[in-house]
Amino acid sequence: METDEFSHSLLEGITLLMRVSLQDLMGYIHRKGISMAQINVLYQLYYRGPCEVLAFSRMLALSPAGASQLIERMARQGWVERLDDPTDRRVRRVHLTEPGRQLAAESIAARNEWVARFGARLSSEEKQQAAQVFRLLAEKIED
């Protein structure tokens, strides 16, 4: 396969996968009344644990004040809480509350349902082929 054909096929596949997946996620968060920035905060806390407010400023390309306001709105909704860092009282760390953890888990479950619906369209052989290709890509991307 020529490099141009590979590049075109890869970009086409990734673009389609991302577009459809993102549309599904956007529909879910819209129904739940969550913004994209808020779901990103929930995922960050769900997968990586508590972190400083300023980390969200960098991650979401917001000003420190904007990140602080976002976290404050989420705290008022009961999804997160800001607690003093036990090792440095000047630092406030953002933690998921149980409702925030549940919302993140529900969102992840909805994404998994999308994957299952997609997988149902594939034969066993196609699933094996796709899994092999995705494992190879993941391995090479990480290099």
pLDDT tens, residue by residue, 68-121: 999 999 999 999 999 988 888 788 899 999 999 999 999 999 989 988 998 999
Q: Are 52 and 43 within 8 A, CB to CB?
A: no
> Any idea which architecture 35-142 has in CATH?
Orthogonal Bundle (1.10)
**What's the pLDDT tens digit per position in 55-81?**
999 999 999 999 999 999 999 999 999
Backbone angles phi, psi at 15, to 5 degrees: -60, -45
> Collapsing DSSP states into helix, strand and coil, what is residue 4?
helix
- Taking the C-alpha atoms of residue 79 and residue 82, their distance in angstroms, rounded to an integer, is 11
- What is the C-alpha separation between 82 and 73, in angstroms, rounded? 12
Per residue in 4-39, pLDDT (tens digit) is: 888 998 899 889 988 988 898 899 999 999 999 999
Whole-prediction pTM value? 0.81
Tokens describing residue 131 = 């899994």
